[in-house]
Amino acid sequence: MKMNKIVSASLALVLGWSGTAFAQNEVDALRYTRYGLTGSARIQGIGGAQTALGADVSTIASNPAGLGMFRRSEFSISPALSFASSTGRVNNNSTSDERNNIGIPHAAFVFSERGIESEQGDWRSATFGLSFTRLNNFNNRTSYRNTAGAEDPTIVEYFTEQANLQGRTQQDLDDEYDRGFSTLEGLAYGAFLFDFDDNGFAIPTSRVGTINQSEEIIRRGSQNQIDIAGGTSYRDKVYLGASLGIVTSDFRQERFFRESEESLESDFTNLELRDEFRTKGTGLNLKLGIIARPSDVIRLGATIQTPTLYNFNETYQRSLYSTFLPGEDYSAVEVPGEFSYKLTTPFRATGGVAVFIQKYGFITADLEYVNYANARFSEDDDFGGNDSYFDDVNSRISSTYQSALNVRLGAEARYEVFRFRAGYAITGDPYRDADFDGGINTFTFGAGLRLTNYYADVAFASSKVNSLYSPYSFNDPGAVVPVVDIEDKLNTVMLTVGYNF
């Protein structure tokens, strides 16, 4: 498939191999900014629409003003089972992978202190909350297979092009071979995948016929937030709250890219490129919220969240292995590296409305604004930094992403102690100019049981998102490269059990 409008508009977001050891790019910026469905089973059952709802433990992380509605203290815990599947399609070849995960994506404690009704003044409560929320589940496994035509350039030609673009010389690469590999083209040279002609121009090793390609990408980890919040009530008409969010992230990725040749007319047999990196970080943000209740029928809510300020530390290593006839094996291993950097995610603003239908239930909706183009990387002075690299990355973030609206809709029906729920969420398309829809659609269903001091809720959420991926690209936009259409699905079953006291 040729690089076309679809790919050029979005491929930089999901591009595989880079000539630099730094892994920080626009893909990382989106990964740590775009959240999945969060909250307790009750909230997930209504599509996450909770900004105007209040009086649920999930409000600690979504709209802390909802704490002002609590009249009793509360504790809840929410275990969940996730089923993730990924399908990679390229040139009529389709490969599917699955990965399941069990964990506790939400837990919360609320302490409410409310005075005697007759002695209350204008400010009628002081409620504090502590919650743990999983913002993202990174566990995923993607693979694909492809056959490159006899005239199509492959990753070997990509290595060669990188060497020429970077102005690498044979002496330069010989020196890297002696002191330890630190670049992708150095690894390819060390594995004898290209050499130099008499004019000092890098040329790829000889190969004949079609090339079989495959890649396996394994991701692990999660992004979590601990919120410390407080809320209060003014005459039970206006509720105010604030929370401090402490975000932790642990992301690990392994990639195994392979090429093989079946023809015996050249010495080349196969290669395997491995890439491993792990990024761990912490961040801080502040959230302010308000809920107004002009009547018993309607509630209006709004929140603003400051940009999250992250500090990340990354470790990485790459290696390349090749085999030639008659059984000659070569390997080149990159010197393990470590790098620290900072990331500032965009500001977020959310508005919501909830309409109550007497004792029979409610309908609620949220609208969230986030401008993904405003994410910014910066260097960590303690590790030297790389100004020009981050300038280029930040420029690509601005040109690739756009602002988006995330819509969440939900409803709950009540019958005696039973609750029945349904919801729908659209996570807006973050890409500025792409011919495919990068939005995430999520359908949810749920049910619950409410007793005097105990409650239990269960929810099912199903989401799907499409993206494009290519393991490499060339300076020539007309060059033929494999373009993989990836469809990721995530189904989650969550149970929340809680106790009021």
* pLDDT tens, position by position, 16-55: 555 444 557 888 899 999 998 999 999 999 999 999 999 8
Q: Which two tokens stand for residue 41?
A: 């089973």
Lowest-pLDDT choice from 2-6, 59-63, 199-203, 282-286: 2-6
Lowest-pLDDT choice from 105-109, 196-200, 389-393: 389-393
Same domain, 374 and 269: yes
Q: pLDDT at residue 9 above 50?
A: no
Same domain, 241 and 180: no
For residue 146, being part of any structural domain is answered with no
Same domain, 293 and 420: yes
Same domain, 185 and 230: no
Q: Which residues contact 92 (CB under 8 A, 6 or more apart)?
A: none
Same domain, 162 and 301: no
Map residue 434 onto helix, strand or coil: coil
Pick the closest to residue 312 from 278, 342, 276 (CA basis). Answer: 342
Q: How far is the C-alpha of 407 from the C-alpha of 409, rounded, in Å?
A: 7
Predicted confidence at residue 7, as pLDDT, reads 39
Same domain, 380 and 303: yes
For residue 243, being part of any structural domain is answered with yes
**How many CB atoms sit inside 10 A of residue 392's CB?**
12
For residue 471, being part of any structural domain is answered with yes
Same domain, 200 and 219: no
| Residue 395 lies in domain | 5-139+215-327+334-500
Alpha carbon distances (Å) from 312 to 309, 388, 393 = 10, 19, 16
Q: How far is the C-alpha of 463 from the C-alpha of 214, rounded, in Å?
A: 27
Q: How far is the C-alpha of 33 from the C-alpha of 369, rounded, in Å?
A: 12
For residue 145, being part of any structural domain is answered with no
Predicted confidence at residue 476, as pLDDT, reads 85
* pLDDT tens, position by position, 239-267: 999 999 999 999 999 999 999 998 888 89
Same domain, 279 and 395: yes
Q: How far is the C-alpha of 116 from the C-alpha of 71, rounded, in Å?
A: 11
Q: Which long-range contacts (CB under 8 A, 24 or more apart) does 155-158 make?
A: 155/17, 155/213, 155/257, 155/259, 155/271, 155/273, 155/471, 155/472, 156/188, 156/193, 156/194, 156/204, 156/205, 156/207, 156/259, 156/271, 157/204, 157/474, 158/17, 158/472, 158/473, 158/474
- Identify whether the C-beta of residue 287 lies closer than 8 Å to the C-beta of residue 304: yes
Q: pLDDT at residue 11 above 50?
A: no
Q: Is the pTM of this model over 0.95?
A: no
Predicted confidence at residue 104, as pLDDT, reads 96
Number of domains in the chain: 2
Same domain, 418 and 307: yes
Same domain, 308 and 177: no
For residue 130, being part of any structural domain is answered with yes
CATH of the domain at 432: 2.40.160.60
For residue 144, being part of any structural domain is answered with no
Question: Torsions phi, psi of 38, nearest 5?
Answer: -125, 170
- Identify whether the C-beta of residue 59 lies closer than 8 Å to the C-beta of residue 130: no
* pLDDT tens, position by position, 280-333: 999 999 999 999 999 999 999 999 999 999 999 999 999 999 999 998 999 999
For residue 433, being part of any structural domain is answered with yes
For residue 402, being part of any structural domain is answered with yes
Domain final residue, candidates 183, 207, 231: 207
Same domain, 19 and 124: yes
The arithmetic mean of pLDDT across residues 136-145, rounded, is: 93
Domain final residue, candidates 159, 188, 207: 207
Domain final residue, candidates 161, 190, 207: 207
Same domain, 386 and 492: yes
